[in-house]
Amino acid sequence: MTDEPPADGPDSDPADDRMPAEPATDRDPTRDPPQPMTDDTDRTTTDSDRTETSDDWEPADSSGFDRPSTDDLRGLLDRVGLAALSLLAVVAGWGFYTQSGSAIRTWFDPAYQSVALAVFNLAVLLVALAGVTHQLRRIRATESGGSE
């Protein structure tokens, strides 16, 4: 018996058996995970390197501003509409107030005009105070987390 390994066939060369097809490594591929091809040990991870993992994250567009969602646009349009209607209400309210004073001066006898204007101004003041009180209660209820 010889100590030579068995040949694969009658024409196999014993020199082919001496050089393995792949270089030998010291690690066991079934036990050790594969190592990266590059060395990243000198790189430090910063907050800018990390990405967000939340579901509602959207990438920024090329202009540098985040693209607003549909709910954000609807809320913005609601606020713009509210501001426009509030401005219209202030202008109309001022017009009503001045025209009411002119109507009182026209319809009432000069002796009673000051009394009628005082009653009208008192009514406007009471309505404004009721509105301010209502809004302050709503704001305080919202800040404290309660509901009316």
Distance from C-alpha of 113 to C-alpha of 46, rounded to nearest angstrom: 75
pLDDT for the residue 104: 93
Phi/psi of residue 137, each to 5°? Answer: -65, -40
pLDDT for the residue 40: 55
> What pLDDT, on the 0 to 100 scale, is given for residue 99?
94
The pLDDT mean for the chain works out to 74
pLDDT in tens, 17-49: 555 555 555 555 566 666 666 655 555 555 555
> Which are the contacts of 144, defined by CB distance < 8 A and separation ≥ 6?
none
- Residue 28: exposure state from Cβ atoms within 10 A (0-12, 13-18, ≥19): exposed
Q: Mind giving me the DSSP string for 58-82?
A: ----TTSSPPPPHHHHHHHHHHHHH
User: Picking from 18-22, 136-140, 142-146, which range would have the lowest pLDDT averaged per residue?
Assistant: 18-22
Name residues whose C-beta falls within 8 Å of residue 68's C-beta, 6 or more positions apart in sequence: 76
Per DSSP, helices labelled H in the chain are 70-107, 113-144
Q: Which pLDDT score is estimated for 101?
A: 93
Q: Tokens standing for 95?
A: 């017009």
Question: Left (φ > 0), alpha (ψ -120 to 50) or beta: where does 39 sit?
Answer: beta
The answer to whether the CB of 140 falls within 8 A of the CB of 134 is no
Kindly report, residue by residue over 64-123, the tens digit of the pLDDT: 677 888 888 888 888 888 888 989 999 998 999 999 999 999 999 999 999 999 999 999
Q: For position 30, what pLDDT does the model report?
A: 63
